[in-house]
Amino acid sequence: MSTLSLTQVRRRGVHELSALRSEDSQESIRAALKLTNEARSFGLDMRDYLDLAIDVPASDTPERYRDSDGYLTGYEAALALLGLPVANDFSRGIVLEAASDTFQTYAGTRALFPQVIDDLVRYKYRQDQLENTTALVSQSRTINGIEMVSTVVDDVETDYQVVRAVAELGRIPVKTIRTGETAVKIYKHGGGYRISYEFQRRARLDMLTPFQNRMARETERSKVWTATGVLINGDGVNPAATTVAQATLATGTAAGVISWKALMAWLINRAKAGVPVDTVVGNWDAYVAWLMLFAIPTSANNRTDANNLAATGFQIGGIPILQGKVDFALSSAMPANQLMGFSKGDTLEELVEAGSSIDESERAIQNQSITYVKTENTGYKLSFGDTRQIFTFAA
């Protein structure tokens, strides 16, 4: 289904959401389903849709939705109207039980259940994800429909003069970006917890915090595995990454141990090819091998071999790995004894499908049991096919 233009979103005051708290349960459900349908039609999740659709100053009592920093966002104003706090604030008489009571009493307010749980966890506790796609992708953007894998085509060299600078009246080399015939594959990541009526009647929302934290970690790990697969195998248009063995770059290398001579030769070769490496990806064992090379002292003066090399004043312009400019990204999906090297800024792009959580919200509205589902629909595509290479140190 094609999505509507965001310029068509009808702006309204937050008071128009009052039907979600109607004493008539059927009216509350109808209002919630209408709201979720509107969000879906624009390809937005509930938070983004409310921020765009709610005009707080146009509300019946706008001063109620104002703090020291100005007016609340549309989403924040909706939470205030519906009585859905995400933290205890005893000085103002706000307790989390109010949100639990709201969800129990008014089924329509469950349209915001996933967002409220997310905010609750973010306020209370947020752990770092050791495996995360942020370390792998150049950018993440939202799409509203199918997107095709693009390809980049160079002009042939005979069409212009191959010199360091464009000659006077010479033809400027141009790369053509074309839309291919292969769609970016979208994967669903995440999971959920079904909360029985008896449980949610007796339990506070913050009891879900440890369960949501586990699910968030598993979701991010699933995304990393998918992104790693694209880096290794290609995206259906751009081919799989090439491989080079460290034994071909230096003599006397040992299996499972990264040779700094081979590593430096590899990085130099990649830079000479016009695609310098600024990020390497490896599994946990590769991370240990990386630490043994660059972090663990290996000589009598408590310095690593790499430190010793740097102390001599040796450095290579454009390959400042000894100054920590090549980042290590962790992915347990990488094969053993391999490093994937690439230039992060022009390699992998993450595409997030808009509004993918709306269907789960609708089910929660209409069922007696509340199902908290946190999913993300994401896909990955390569900008260029020549920016990746696998360095293997199996021998």
Higher-confidence residue of 171 and 163: namely 171
Separation between Cα atoms, residue 46 and residue 358, nearest integer Å? 8
Separation between Cα atoms, residue 281 and residue 140, nearest integer Å? 18
**Which residue type does 65 have?**
Y
In the chain the domains, ranked by start, together with CATH numbers, are 1-126 (no CATH), 127-147+186-395 (3.90.1690), 148-183 (no CATH)
Task: Give tens-digit pLDDT for 335-345.
Answer: 999 999 999 99
**Does the pLDDT of residue 252 top 70, yes or no?**
yes
- Its pTM stands at 0.75
Cβ distance 339 to 288 under 8 Å?
Answer: no
Between strands 388-392 and 338-342, the pairing is antiparallel
Q: Give which of 360, 362, 370, 375 is closest to 102, Cα–Cα.
A: 370
**Of all residues in the chain, what percent carry a pLDDT higher than 90?**
33
Higher-confidence residue of 303 and 29: namely 29
**Does the pLDDT of residue 327 top 80, yes or no?**
yes
Tokens of residue 98, six digits: 């109010």
Band of pLDDT at residue 10, cut at 50, 70 and 90 = very high
**Does the pLDDT of residue 300 top 60, yes or no?**
no
Q: Determine if residue 324 is left, alpha or beta; phi over 0 gives left, psi from -120 to 50 gives alpha, anything else beta.
A: left
**Does the pLDDT of residue 319 top 80, yes or no?**
no
Residue 160: per-residue pLDDT: 42
Mean pLDDT on 125-151 = 80
What is the DSSP code string of 206-257? GGGHHHHHHHHHHHHHHHHHHHHHHHHH--SSS-PPEEEEGGGTSSS--TTS
Q: Which of 40-44, 76-80, 257-261, 387-391 has the highest mean pLDDT?
A: 387-391
**Of all residues in the chain, what percent carry a pLDDT higher than 70?**
75
Residue 143: per-residue pLDDT: 80
Higher-confidence residue of 375 and 76: namely 76
Between strands 338-342 and 348-353, the pairing is unpaired
Task: Give tens-digit pLDDT for 350-371.
Answer: 998 876 666 666 666 766 566 6
Separation between Cα atoms, residue 351 and residue 87, nearest integer Å? 32
Residue 161: per-residue pLDDT: 45
Q: Which of 175-189, 293-307, 359-373 has the highest mean pLDDT?
A: 175-189
Separation between Cα atoms, residue 84 and residue 120, nearest integer Å? 10
Q: Give which of 139, 33, 47 is closest to 362, Cα–Cα.
A: 33
Please enumerate in sequence order all residues whose Cβ is within 8 A of that of 317, keeping only pairs 6 or more positions apart, or say none: none
Between strands 348-353 and 139-143, the pairing is parallel
Tokens of residue 200, six digits: 């949610």
Long-range contacts (CB closer than 8 Å, 24 or more residues apart) made by 299-303: none
